[in-house]
Amino acid sequence: EVFVPLYTGRLLSSVAFKEAWLQFQYNLIIGFLGGFRMGVFSLCIARLSIRLRTKLFQSYLKQEIGFFDTHESGKLLSRLNHDTQVMSSIVANNIGQCIGALIRFIGTLFMMIKLSIHLTIACLIGAPLILIVAKISGNAHGRIAAKVQDLSAEAFDIAEETIQTIRTVRSFGNEDEELKRFENTLRQSYQVSWIQALVTSAQKWFVDLAQLCMSIIMLSYGAKLVRDNYITGPDLLAFIIYQLTLGGILSDISQIYTSLMTAAGASQSVFDYLDRKPMQKPSGIIQPHELQGDIEFDNVSLSYPARPNEIAIQNMSFKIKSGQTCAFVGPSGSGKSTCVNLLERFYDPTHGKILIDGREIHEYDHKYLHKKIAMVGQEPILFNRTIQENITYALNNNDESIMIQAAEQVNAHGFISELINGYNTKCGQRGGHLSGGQKQRISIARAIIRKPTILVLDEATSALDPVNERLIQDALYYKKDSQQPRTVLISAHRLSTIERCDKIFVIHKGHLIEQGTHDELMTIENGIYRELVRRQRMNIDDD
Q: What is the pLDDT of residues 526-543, one digit of tens each?
A: 888 888 888 877 764 444
pLDDT for residue 64 is more than 50: yes
Cα-flanking dihedrals φ and ψ of residue 321, to 5°? -85, 155
Whether the predicted pLDDT of 267 surpasses 70: yes
Q: Best-predicted range by mean pLDDT among 117-126, 146-155, 209-218, 291-300?
A: 291-300
In 276-399, the DSSP E strands lie at: 295-302, 313-320, 325-329, 351-356, 359-360, 373-376
pLDDT higher than 50, residue 329: yes
Residue-level pLDDT at 349: 92
Question: What is the structure's pLDDT at 168?
Answer: 75
What confidence tier does 122 reach under pLDDT thresholds 50, 70, 90? confident
**Gap between the Cα atoms of 490 and 496, Å rounded:** 12
What average pLDDT does range 284-308 have in this prediction?
90
Got the DSSP string for 18-60?
T-HHHHHHHHHHHHHHHHHHHHHHHHHHHHHHHHHHHHHHHHH
User: Could you give all domains of the chain from N- to C-terminal order, each with its CATH number?
Assistant: 4-275 (1.20.1560.10), 295-537 (3.40.50.300)
As a whole number, the mean pLDDT across the chain is: 81
Pick the range with the lowest mean pLDDT from 32-41, 120-129, 163-172, 259-268.
32-41
> Which of 110-124, 293-307, 398-412 is most confident?
293-307
Confidence label for 306 from pLDDT (cuts 50, 70 and 90): confident
pLDDT of the residue at 543? 45
Q: Rounded to two decimals, what is the model's pTM?
A: 0.72
- Residue range 181-231, pLDDT digits in tens: 888 888 888 888 888 788 878 877 887 787 777 777 777 888 888 788 887
CA angle 522, 528, 534 (to 5 degrees): 60
Helix, strand or coil for residue 316?
strand
Q: Which residues contact 106 (CB under 8 A, 6 or more apart)?
A: none
pLDDT value of residue 542:
43
Segment 239-256 shows an average pLDDT of 80
Residue range 295-309: average pLDDT?
90
Q: Does the pLDDT at position 51 exceed 80? A: yes
Q: Is the pLDDT of residue 8 over 70?
A: no
Distances (CA, A) of 189 to 6, 98, 130, 182: 48, 29, 29, 11
pLDDT of residue 477: 63
